[in-house]
Chains A and B, each alone.
Chain A
Amino acid sequence: MALPCVLFSSSVADYDPKEFVKRILNVAVLPTPQILTDNVESYEWAFENKYYSTSVHLCTTDSRTIGDQDFAESVEAFVHYFDPNQLNSFELAKAWLPYLKHIEPEIQILVCECSRYTDVVCRKETLEWCIQNGFELVELSPENDEDEDDDFPETTGMARIIQALNAHTWPNMEMKDSPPVQSPYLRQMMKEQHLINQQNANAVLNSGSETSACENNEDSLTEGVTCNSENQDTDTDLSSHDAGSETDNVKKTDMSSNKESVCNNSTGAVTGNEENVQQSSNASTSNKSADSGDSGGGSSANEQMPLDDINWKALLADSAQTDAPLSEDDIGVEEFEQLFMKLKVMKDKADTMPVDERKKYAEKVAVSFWKAIGGDEDEILGLDDSDAD
Chain B
Amino acid sequence: MIQFCVIANKQGRIRLRRIYEHIEEKNQHELELAVVGKCLSRSSKQCNFFYHDHLTVVYKKFTTLCFICVVTKDENELAMQEILNVFMDCLVAYFHHVSELDIVFNIEKVYLILDEIIVNGCVGFTSKERVLVPLQLLEAGS
Contacts and interface: CB of A to CB of B under 8 A. Distances in A.
Contacts of B97: 183
A132 B33 CA distance: 9
Nearest to A137: B10
Contacts of A387: none
Contacts, number: 81
Contact of B136 (A51, A128, A193): A193
Contacts of A155: 63-64
A167 B139 CA distance: 24
A51 B105 contact: yes
B64 A160 contact: yes
B94 A182 contact: yes
A167 B106 contact: no
Given A132-B37, A147-B44, A155-B64, A185 B12 contact: no
Nearest to A51: B105
B47 interface: no
Interface in B65-102: 92-97, 99-102
A166 interface: yes
Contacts of A136: 9-11
Contacts of B132: 186
Nearest to B102: A181
Interface string A112-145: 0000000000000001100110111100000001
Interface in B17-55: 37, 40-41, 44-45
A108 interface: yes
Nearest to B43: A145
B101 A51 contact: yes
B92 A154 contact: no
B62 interface: yes
B104 interface: yes
A171 interface: no
A163 B99 contact: yes
Sort A-B residue pairs by CB-CB distance and give the 8 closest, nearest first. Answer: A183-B96, A167-B100, A136-B10, A51-B105, A136-B11, A167-B101, A131-B37, A152-B63
Interface of A: 49-52, 106-109, 127-128, 131-132, 134-137, 145, 147, 152-155, 160, 163-164, 166-167, 169, 179, 181-186, 189-190, 193-194
19 contacts: A106-B13, A108-B11, A128-B41, A131-B12, A134-B12, A136-B11, A152-B62, A154-B64, A155-B63, A155-B64, A164-B9, A164-B11, A166-B101, A181-B95, A183-B92, A183-B95, A185-B96, A190-B136, A193-B136
